[in-house]
Amino acid sequence: MRGQGIGLGMMGMPDRSLITAVQQKDYSAGVWLRRKDKLEHGKRQILQLTHTHNLSVLSSDKSSKAHVFQSGLATEGCAMK
Protein backbone atom coordinates (compact mmCIF):
# COMPACT_ATOMS: atom_id res chain seq x y z
CA MET A 1 0.00 0.00 0.00
CA ARG A 2 1.25 3.42 -0.90
CA GLY A 3 1.82 5.90 1.92
CA GLN A 4 0.17 9.25 1.87
CA GLY A 5 1.62 12.55 2.95
CA ILE A 6 4.75 14.36 1.94
CA GLY A 7 7.06 12.32 -0.24
CA LEU A 8 10.82 12.57 -0.18
CA GLY A 9 12.58 14.12 -3.15
CA MET A 10 16.25 14.29 -3.93
CA MET A 11 18.65 14.07 -1.00
CA GLY A 12 15.86 13.15 1.39
CA MET A 13 14.21 16.57 1.26
CA PRO A 14 10.43 16.70 1.34
CA ASP A 15 8.91 17.50 -2.07
CA ARG A 16 7.51 20.84 -0.91
CA SER A 17 10.85 21.92 0.46
CA LEU A 18 12.54 20.93 -2.77
CA ILE A 19 10.04 22.92 -4.83
CA THR A 20 10.43 25.92 -2.52
CA ALA A 21 14.23 25.71 -2.75
CA VAL A 22 14.09 25.57 -6.56
CA GLN A 23 11.66 28.50 -6.65
CA GLN A 24 13.95 30.50 -4.34
CA LYS A 25 16.99 29.79 -6.53
CA ASP A 26 14.99 30.71 -9.63
CA TYR A 27 13.92 33.99 -8.02
CA SER A 28 17.47 34.75 -6.86
CA ALA A 29 18.83 34.04 -10.34
CA GLY A 30 16.22 36.38 -11.83
CA VAL A 31 17.16 39.16 -9.41
CA TRP A 32 20.86 38.66 -10.18
CA LEU A 33 20.24 38.78 -13.94
CA ARG A 34 18.17 41.97 -13.65
CA ARG A 35 20.93 43.63 -11.63
CA LYS A 36 23.55 42.47 -14.14
CA ASP A 37 21.46 43.84 -17.03
CA LYS A 38 21.09 47.20 -15.25
CA LEU A 39 24.83 47.41 -14.68
CA GLU A 40 25.61 46.55 -18.30
CA HIS A 41 23.04 49.06 -19.52
CA GLY A 42 24.59 51.73 -17.29
CA LYS A 43 28.07 50.93 -18.61
CA ARG A 44 26.82 51.19 -22.21
CA GLN A 45 25.27 54.59 -21.47
CA ILE A 46 28.50 55.85 -19.89
CA LEU A 47 30.53 54.63 -22.87
CA GLN A 48 28.12 56.31 -25.30
CA LEU A 49 28.22 59.58 -23.36
CA THR A 50 32.01 59.45 -23.12
CA HIS A 51 32.31 58.70 -26.84
CA THR A 52 29.91 61.53 -27.73
CA HIS A 53 31.77 63.90 -25.41
CA ASN A 54 35.14 62.93 -26.91
CA LEU A 55 33.84 63.50 -30.42
CA SER A 56 32.51 66.95 -29.51
CA VAL A 57 35.81 67.85 -27.82
CA LEU A 58 37.75 66.70 -30.87
CA SER A 59 35.43 68.62 -33.16
CA SER A 60 35.66 71.83 -31.14
CA ASP A 61 39.42 71.34 -30.75
CA LYS A 62 39.87 71.07 -34.52
CA SER A 63 37.75 74.14 -35.20
CA SER A 64 39.60 76.18 -32.56
CA LYS A 65 42.98 75.11 -34.00
CA ALA A 66 41.77 76.08 -37.47
CA HIS A 67 40.63 79.45 -36.10
CA VAL A 68 44.01 80.04 -34.42
CA PHE A 69 45.81 79.00 -37.61
CA GLN A 70 43.68 81.32 -39.73
CA SER A 71 44.15 84.14 -37.23
CA GLY A 72 47.89 83.56 -37.32
CA LEU A 73 47.92 83.79 -41.09
CA ALA A 74 45.92 86.99 -40.99
CA THR A 75 48.34 88.47 -38.47
CA GLU A 76 51.37 87.39 -40.50
CA GLY A 77 49.75 88.80 -43.63
CA CYS A 78 49.32 92.17 -41.95
CA ALA A 79 52.96 92.12 -40.82
CA MET A 80 54.17 91.33 -44.32
CA LYS A 81 52.56 94.41 -45.88
Using an 8 Å Cβ cutoff, are 15 and 9 in contact?
Answer: yes
Contact 24, 32 (CB under 8 A): no
Give 28's pLDDT tier (boundaries 50, 70, 90): very high
What mean pLDDT value characterizes the chain? 74
pLDDT beyond 80 at 23: yes
CA angle 21, 16, 34 (to 5 degrees): 30
Q: Are 14 and 8 in contact (CB under 8 A)?
A: yes
Within the chain, where are the H helices? 15-80
| pTM of the predicted structure, to 2 decimals | 0.45
